[in-house]
Amino acid sequence: MTEQHEQHAHRFERGTDGPKVIVVGVDGSDSSLRAAAYAGGLARRQHALLAVVYVQPVLAAGAALGAPVAETTDELAEDLVGYIREAAERVRGIFDVRWEFHTFRGDPYTGLVKAADELKADAVVVGASEQAGHRIIGSVAVRLVKSGRWPVTVVP
């Protein structure tokens, strides 16, 4: 054994090997809610913070036509928070998970990247795309994986 190897063999490491912050993207779709459930279980087992992120789309065309886009996406965000709170209450005392809800604006990919950076995510969890067109242009999940910045779990 080399001297350098002997030094490393006796070194004590503090902390955990798992993630401390897990970001999960939710948009109200079934696959995103499954991703949130999966990420919640992972956060519970790893004693990590679950950062639930909703990216509110910014639709310039909708705004130009006078559509109440911001109000609709705000309502969706409020509905998601309510749904997550209800789910957390149902398992309180059985499964305790530390979680926060965050809203970012923009397209889903850019919003999740910004969220993961700002929240110092160790892992990102997203649902698989339910849109057929994403097989051609690439889904948010594929783009996150290709960025290679965090471990990404895609939940079907």
**pLDDT tens by residue, 100-154:** 889 888 889 999 999 999 999 999 999 988 765 445 456 888 899 999 899 999 9
Round to whole Å and give the CA distance between 53 and 55: 6
Question: pLDDT for 33-88, tens place per residue?
Answer: 899 999 999 999 999 999 999 888 776 554 545 555 555 667 776 777 777 777 66
The three-state secondary structure class of 128 is coil
Q: Rounded to 5 degrees, what angle do the CA atoms 124, 125, 130 make?
A: 135
Q: Give the model's pLDDT for residue 136.
A: 47
Amino acid letter, residue 28 = G
Phi, psi of 141, deg, nearest 5: -60, -45
Token pair, residue 15, equals 């902390």
